[in-house]
Every structure is written in structure tokens, then in C-alpha cells.
Amino acid sequence: MTAVMSVRRADITTMAVDAIVNAANESLLGGGGVDGAIHRAAGPGLQDECETLHGCATGSAKLTGGYALPATYVIHAVGPVWHGGDRGEALALASAYEAAIVLAQEHRCRTVAFPSISTGIYGYPKAQAAEVAVRSVARALASAPYVEEVTFCAYDDEDLAIYRGILSR
């Protein structure tokens, strides 16, 4: 069975899926944007578990429990800071998405929700990031038969339109 990819405008912290993906920083200790929102909604247990993980490299991902979130797991994926596109940002971003799908497969997650990684304070252009996201998730899903549904969680109407356009191709 081929996994279904879709987009919806939603607060990722309210999504009842097997795993939500956090657009994390390398420390995994919380931050602004979606990262801070996930940490606040999950409660202090998430922070405690993240402290035991000793960070995460850019382009990689690590998994924790979901704590007070409706999601069973949080997959913390670290995307790159945008420096104009000539420092391997696309490869690092693709790697973060792919690493998240690998963890979802390993932990038998059927449903996964992604935010738009690196497009907030890290400054990655939204349309370029969405292209990388959809392409790399589709590629990773070919080796992740357990994952049945991936939802790209749009923060605003602009994100929603960008992902709808890409997914309709």
C-alpha cells in the first residue's frame, strides 16, 4: 500500500497521530515557534527526556514520548539554518525529513504529522522548503511500508496554498 500525503491547516500540538515531528534545534531543549509550542503542550516530561538525548545534529532526528500531547511520539528533526542555499541546506533539510520517516517506520507509526521545518526563525524560503519536504518524504516512504499517512501541518494560509500546489502535481 502506498502512503497518502496530505496537507491541512492545524495546530500540530492538537493532532491525534502516532507521531508529530518537531522542528527542533540541535539542543533539543525547546525554543521558539513550533518547537516551543510542542514543549509547552507536552509538559515537563518532554524536556526531561530531551535532556537525556544530548542533542541532535542538523539533518538528523531523535524520538521521544508524546507526554501530554495527543500524539504517542515526538520526532525531533533538526533542519538547517538558511544561508542562501549554497551551503548544503537542501541536502540537510531532506536528510531531516528522511530521518524522521525512518524513525516513524522503526517505531511502527502509521500516521505522522510534519510542520514546515526550518521556515521559521531558521529562514528557509517556504516554497523551496515545501518542495524539499514533499520530495524527501515521498522518497523515504518507499522504504517505510508501515507508515500509511503523512500530513503536512500548515501554519498559515500561505503554507496551505504552497503544499496544496505541490501535492496536486
Task: For residue 28, give the CATH number of its domain.
Answer: 3.40.220.10
Q: What are phi and psi of 43, to 5 degrees?
A: 95, 180
Q: What is the pLDDT of residue 48?
A: 98
In whole angstroms, what is the distance from residue 37 CA to residue 118 CA?
15
**Regions of the chain short of the pLDDT cut 50:** none
pLDDT at 124: 98
Per-residue pLDDT, 2: 80
Predicted pLDDT of residue 45: 98
Give which of 119, 62, 147 is closest to 96, Cα–Cα.
62
How is residue 108 annotated by DSSP? Answer: T
pLDDT digits (tens, 9 = 90+) for 40-67: 999 999 999 999 999 999 999 999 999 9
Q: Domain count for the chain, please give it.
A: 1
Active site residue 35: yes
Range of the domain at 51: 4-167
Residue 1's pLDDT is 63
The active-site residue, picked from 11, 35, 156, 159, is 35
